[in-house]
């Protein structure tokens, strides 16, 4: 080793010898001549060792030593001095000199210099390394302690005598404050006092070596944290280190214990909820295999859990047909094909939906129980799906109640058929199917022909019975999957989902026609009623409910127009006609507003005197675009829209005015007959309307006749009777129009304040003996009741004779006159003087 030596010596001879000796031995030597120069050299460079003589000018070797120490230079210093100076040598060693060399006179000490230097250097180097090592150890120890102190569990080390030689801060914190310092050196047993516990000495002290004993000891005391693991202290090679005792760790697991307890309590609670819950609960794995069931489920389905758990799939509770139906509905809803399997059942749950669904579960004995089932997912801590929970409850009672409510809300009370609301639903569903499957659907609108007549003449009870029979026949005529609805009145709708061809639907129409037309026995009456059917098909005639119904309706009207008792298939041309109807309706409004409607008057003639004694007012409409439009075309339409009220009021006023003028002009006490729609009679202020028309025109009431239809009387309504009485009290004349066409019985005539009967022209068929008899019967009864009789639609001489022979004097018909405009009447009527005329007009 090439040591670097700082050498201080003032004697030149000696220094020359020592220098050469040391250089020979491989030292690097810096020579200075006194202590001061040595200090100066030290501040410029570092040396391994200082070799100094004691006696030197300016600063001695000892003084140099003091300075080096003072400056805390970590360099060993070797002092050379004469043998007599032993006192000085001791002082130097005490003051920190690394070694000394006594100079003898024979120069033997020169031999010692090199070995002494080497020894000092090496020792110094070793010491430095040791110090470094110790510092590192200290650091590590501190780190260990810090780590142990940071631990959330108690750590102690105890020696063979069971005394504590180390503890971390967690451990000491378990004891009353202030005891921390006293813990070291304490026997473990003595700690019991500090814990203030009543534990027998032997139990703890003696048994401590036994692993877990301390734990047991702590357990027996207060506090809920406890556990100890005692091990012999091992070195890194897992070899027991002799004489070190044991390391003991104490972990406070009270929280964990508490959590465990809470978990147990929660589990017990859950179990008791499940056990006592009225809900039937099933847990399944991902494939539907049952893993747990609640007692309520066992009771509800009459199974023992051992028959189900790990044995069966939850699918076993389901009815296959119901699953298939559900799959179909879902397919329609989601617009994609859904299979009727387990996945279908858990689909909503997987999508995070929690919704109850109604099913019919199958009991062990095969019977069914209606249930509402909610499926939710079961997941583990990490949110992974592990299975499903099925919560079901018996909804027999609810379902019965709901079914009753549903039924009432969705069915017609009379026939029990689905009503308009349910029809909408069924149509929607059927249409979705059409869109999904690409197949066709038929919609039939069916209306009974002249049903109103039956209802009006035979009464509601008979009418209702007839409707019920028709409803039953319709249901029998179609398939189970078809829907028959009653829209109200005598109108029915039949939905035929899933049909291939129009011809198939037409065949069903024929079947219905044949079935409905069979005679029906209601009480003593044998009735025959025929239907008119309109048919539309989806998707050809419409892809929405409204269009399909509208088009079927249009087709039905066409069937009615073409003679009833038949069916008609919708086509676009019909829609056009319907459109025309709407156009006419608009045109009517326009015509009325612009005073284009006219009243014509058809004279009534006394067959004996051949004189005109009255007129029937009939509306005439000539439209510049549509031409002449017959009242039969627009009056029924105005009745449906309610527009007839305006038209009727106008006709009444106009007729009163016109006839008052005629009476004045001709001096004849003409009577005018005005047609009154049933809708007008329903208006409570109709009497006022009539009174106002009379007052405004100045026509006396007995000069006004109101024609009402038979149906109005047949309705047997108290309001109608009141109305007719009021009109009669006003002094106007009341006539029954078209008598004999409805189911009006002659008995009505006595009940109502009727003055005139107008025999319908259909009875003037001279070739028919039956007609003759009827005309005879009517006139003789009228005579008995003191009623006037007017024969309508007389076209031939034969007809005149027919009615005259049977006592009817007044006729109206083309044989004499058509309805004429007011100005065209004048030439036909007699002229009288103005004065006479005015007098007559007033009476």
Q: Which residues bind Ca ion (CB under 5 A)?
A: 675, 707, 737-738, 792
Only one of the segments 4-12, 200-208, 774-782, 793-801 lies at the binding site for ligand C2E (rule: CB under 6 A); that segment is: 793-801
Nearest approach in angstroms of CB 674 to ligand C2E is 6
Among ligand C2E, Ca ion, none, the one that 470 touches (CB under a kind-dependent 5 to 8 A) is: none
Instruction: Confirm or reject binding of residue 711 to ligand C2E (CB under 6 A).
Output: no
Among the listed residues 349, 423, 651, 733, the single contact to ligand C2E using CB under 6 A: 651
Nearer to ligand C2E, 96 or 636 (CB): 636
Which of residues 294, 532, 677, 697 is near ligand C2E by CB under 6 A?
Answer: 677
Strand partners, 164: 158
> Considering only CA atoms, which of 546, 533, 524, 480 is closest in space to residue 505?
533
Least distance (Å) between residue 818 CB and ligand C2E: 7
> Strand, coil or helix: what is 481?
coil
Binding partner of 204, given Ca ion, ligand C2E, none, CB within 5-8 angstroms per partner class: none
Smallest distance from ligand C2E to CB 678, Å: 9
Name the segment binding ligand C2E (CB under 6 A); options: 159-167, 197-205, 582-590, 812-820: 812-820
* Piece in contact with ligand C2E (CB under 6 A), picked from 8-16, 41-49, 503-511, 625-633: 625-633
- Alpha-carbon Rg for the chain in angstroms: 63
Contact between 675 and ligand C2E (CB under 6 A)?
yes
**Cα–Cα separations (whole angstroms), residue 339 to 200, 314, 325, 326, 481:** 73, 16, 10, 9, 21
C-alpha torsion 765→768→772→777, nearest 10: -110
Q: Which of 602, 654, 697, 779 contacts ligand C2E by CB under 6 A?
A: 602
Regarding 658 and contact with ligand C2E (CB under 6 A), the answer is no
Minimum gap (Å) between residue 568 Cβ and ligand C2E: 25
Token digits of residue 834: 């103005």
Least distance in angstroms from the C-beta of 628 to Ca ion:
19
Is 678 one of the binding residues for ligand C2E (CB under 6 A)? no
CA 205 to chain centre: 71
- 158 contacts 228 by C-beta, under 8 angstroms: no
Least distance (Å) between residue 603 CB and ligand C2E = 10
628 binds ligand C2E per the rule CB under 6 A = no
248 in Cβ contact with 156 (< 8 Å): yes
How, if at all, do strands 290-293 and 280-285 pair?
A: antiparallel
The gap between the terminal CA atoms of the chain, to the nearest Å, is: 165
Q: Select the span of 232-240, 434-442, 488-496, 674-682 touching ligand C2E (CB under 6 A).
A: 674-682
Name residues whose C-beta falls within 8 Å of residue 419's C-beta, 6 or more positions apart in sequence.
410, 411, 412, 485, 486, 487, 488
Q: Which does 630 bind (CB under 5 to 8 A by kind): Ca ion, ligand C2E, none?
A: ligand C2E
Decide if residue 814 touches ligand C2E (CB under 6 A): yes
> Of all helices (H) and strands (E), which one includes residue 268?
helix 254-276
Nearer to Ca ion, 664 or 738 (CB): 738
- Name the one range near ligand C2E by CB under 6 A: 122-130, 392-400, 422-430, 789-797: 789-797
Nearer to Ca ion, 205 or 707 (CB): 707
Identity of the residue, 42 or 706, whose beta carbon is nearer to ligand C2E in the bound complex: 706
* Partner whose binding site includes residue 823, from Ca ion, ligand C2E, none (CB under 5 to 8 Å by kind): none
Choose among ligand C2E, Ca ion, none what residue 457 binds, the Cβ cut-off being 5 to 8 Å by kind: none
Helical (H) or strand (E) element with 68: helix 61-70
Of positions 356, 459, 793, 807, contacts ligand C2E by CB under 6 A: 793
- The two beta strands, 385-394 and 368-379, are antiparallel
Return d(Cα 174, Cα 254) in angstroms, integer.
14
Going by C-alpha positions, the residue among 771, 739, 761, 748 that lies closest to residue 811 is 761
Spell out the residues 6+ positions from residue 754 whose beta carbon is closer than 8 angstroms to its own: 724, 734, 735, 736, 787
Residue 631 binding ligand C2E, by CB under 6 A: yes
Q: Residue 258 and residue 255: Cα distance in Å, rounded?
A: 5
**Contact partner, 402, from Ca ion, ligand C2E, none, Cβ < 5-8 Å per class:** none
| Residue 465, contacted partner among ligand C2E, Ca ion, none, CB below 5-8 A by kind | none
Closest approach, Cβ 634 to ligand C2E, in A, equals 9
State the number of binding residues for ligand C2E (CB under 6 A): 21
For residue 679, give both structure tokens. 């809708």
Q: Contact between 824 and ligand C2E (CB under 6 A)?
A: no
> By three-state DSSP, how is residue 204 classified?
helix
Which helix (H) or strand (E) is 142 found in, with range?
A: helix 109-150
For position 635 contacting ligand C2E by CB under 6 A, the verdict is yes
Contact segment (CB under 6 A) with ligand C2E among 61-69, 139-147, 585-593, 631-639 equals: 631-639
Task: Decide: 551 and 570 in contact? Cβ < 8 Å.
Answer: yes
Region binding ligand C2E by CB under 6 A among candidate stretches 364-372, 448-456, 468-476, 792-800: 792-800
Q: Angle between the 502-516 and 460-477 helix axes, to the nearest 10 degrees? A: 140
Cis peptide before 539 (omega within 30 of 0): yes
Instruction: Examine residue 642 and tell whether it contacts ligand C2E (CB under 6 A).
Output: no
Q: Please report how close the Cβ of residue 596 comes to ligand C2E at its closest, in angstroms.
A: 15
Longest dimension (CA), the chain: 200
Compute CA distances 549 → 429, 487, 541, 555, 684, whole Å. Answer: 15, 11, 10, 10, 34
Residues with Cβ within 8 Å of 775's Cβ and at least 6 positions away in sequence, in order, are 759, 763, 764, 791, 802, 803, 806, 808
Range 114-153, binding ligand C2E (CB under 6 A)? none
Q: Exactly one of 111, 152, 573, 632 binds ligand C2E (CB under 6 A); which one?
A: 632
Helix 644-666 / helix 686-697 crossing angle, nearest 10 deg = 30
User: Residues in the site for ligand C2E, rule: CB under 6 A?
Assistant: 602, 617-619, 630-632, 635, 648, 651, 675-677, 737-738, 793-795, 813-814, 819
């Amino acid at each position: 080793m090439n040591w670097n030596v700082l050498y201080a010596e003032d004697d030149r001879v000696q220094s020359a010898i020592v220098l050469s000796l040391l250089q020979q031995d491989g030292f690097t030597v810096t020579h200075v001549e006194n202590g001061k120069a040595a200090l100066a050299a030290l501040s410029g460079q570092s040396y391994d060792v200082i070799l100094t003589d004691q006696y030197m000018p300016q600063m001695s070797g000892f003084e140099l030593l003091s300075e080096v120490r003072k400056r805390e230079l970590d360099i060993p210093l070797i002092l050379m001095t004469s043998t007599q100076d032993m006192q000085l040598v001791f002082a130097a060693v005490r003051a920190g000199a690394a070694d000394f060399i006594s100079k003898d006179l024979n120069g033997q000490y020169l031999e010692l210099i090199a070995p002494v230097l080497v020894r000092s250097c090496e020792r110094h180097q070793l010491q430095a390394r040791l110090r470094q090592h110790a510092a590192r150890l200290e650091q590590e120890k501190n780190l260990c302690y810090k780590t142990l102190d940071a631990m959330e569990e108690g750590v102690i080390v105890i020696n063979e005598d069971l005394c504590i030689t180390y503890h971390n801060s967690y451990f000491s914190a378990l004891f009353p404050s202030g005891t921390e310092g006293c813990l070291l050196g304490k026997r473990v047993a003595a700690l019991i006092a500090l814990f203030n516990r009543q534990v027998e000495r032997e139990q703890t002290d003696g048994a401590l070596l036994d692993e877990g004993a301390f734990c047991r000891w702590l357990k027996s005391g207060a506090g809920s944290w406890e556990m100890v693991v005692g091990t012999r202290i091992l070195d890194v090679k897992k070899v027991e280190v002799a004489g070190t005792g044991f390391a003991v760790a104490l972990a406070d697991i009270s929280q964990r214990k508490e959590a465990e307890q809470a978990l147990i309590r929660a589990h017990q609670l859950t179990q008791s909820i499940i056990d006592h819950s009225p809900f039937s609960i099933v847990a399944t794995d991902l494939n539907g295999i049952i893993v747990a069931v609640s007692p309520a489920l066992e009771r509800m389905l009459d199974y023992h859990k051992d028959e189900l758990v790990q044995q069966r799939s939850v699918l076993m509770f389901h009815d296959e047909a119901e699953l298939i139906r559900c799959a179909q509905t879902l397919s329609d809803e989601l617009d994609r094909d859904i299979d009727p399997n387990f996945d279908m059942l858990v689909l909503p749950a997987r999508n995070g939906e929690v919704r109850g669904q109604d099913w019919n579960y199958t009991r062990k004995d095969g019977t069914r129980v209606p249930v509402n089932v909610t499926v939710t997912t079961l997941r583990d801590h990490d949110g992974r799906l592990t299975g499903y929970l099925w919560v079901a409850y018996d909804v027999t009672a609810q379902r019965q109640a709901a079914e009753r409510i549903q039924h009432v809300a969705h069915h017609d009370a009379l026939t029990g058929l689905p009503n308009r609301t349910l029809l909408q639903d069924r149509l929607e569903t059927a249409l979705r199917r059409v869109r999904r499957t690409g197949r066709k659907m038929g919609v039939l609108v069916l209306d009974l022909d002249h049903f109103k007549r039956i209802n009006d003449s035979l009464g509601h009870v008979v009418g209702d019975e007839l409707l019920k029979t028709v409803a039953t026949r319709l249901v029998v005529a179609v398939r189970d999957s078809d829907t028959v609805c009653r829209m109200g009145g005598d109108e029915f709708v039949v939905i035929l989902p899933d049909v291939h061809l129009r011809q198939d639907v037409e065949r069903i129409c024929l079947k219905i026609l044949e079935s409905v037309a069979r005679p029906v026995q209601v009480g003593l009456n044998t009735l025959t009623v025929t239907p008119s059917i309109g048919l539309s098909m989806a998707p050809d005639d419409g892809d929405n409910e409204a269009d399909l119904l509208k088009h079927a309706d249009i087709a039905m009207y066409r069937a009615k127009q073409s003679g009833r008792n038949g069916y008609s298939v919708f086509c676009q041309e019909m829609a056009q006609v319907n459109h025309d109807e709407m156009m006419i309706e608009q045109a009517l409004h326009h015509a009325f507003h612009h005073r284009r409607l006219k009243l014509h008057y058809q004279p009534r003639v006394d067959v004996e005197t051949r004189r005109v004694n009255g007129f029937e007012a009939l509306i005439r409409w000539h439209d510049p675009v549509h031409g002449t439009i017959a009242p039969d075309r627009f009056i029924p339409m105005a009745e449906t829209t309610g527009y007839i009220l305006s038209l009727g009021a106008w006709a009444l006023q106009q007729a009163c005015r016109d006839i008052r003028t005629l009476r004045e002009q001709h001096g004849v006490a003409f009577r005018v007959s005005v047609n009154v729609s049933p809708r007008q009679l329903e208006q409570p202020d109709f009497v006022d309307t009539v009174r106002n028309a009379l007052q405004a025109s100045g026509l006396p009431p007995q000069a006004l006749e109101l024609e009402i239809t038979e149906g109005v009387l047949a309705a047997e309504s108290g309001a109608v009777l009141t109305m007719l009485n009021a009109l009669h009290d006003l002094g106007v004349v009341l006539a029954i129009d078209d008598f004999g066409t409805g189911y009006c019985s002659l008995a009505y005539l006595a009940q109502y304040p009727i003055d005139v009967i107008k025999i319908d022209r259909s009875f003037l068929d001279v070739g028919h003996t039956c007609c003759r008899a009827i005309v005879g019967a009517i006139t003789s009864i009228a005579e008995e009741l003191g009623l006037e009789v007017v024969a309508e639609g007389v076209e031939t001489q034969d007809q005149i004779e027919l009615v005259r022979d049977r006592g009817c004097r007044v006729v109206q018909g083309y044989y004499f006159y058509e309805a004429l405009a007011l100005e065209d009447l004048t030439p036909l009527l007699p002229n009288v003087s103005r004065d006479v005329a005015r007098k007559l007009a007033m009476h």
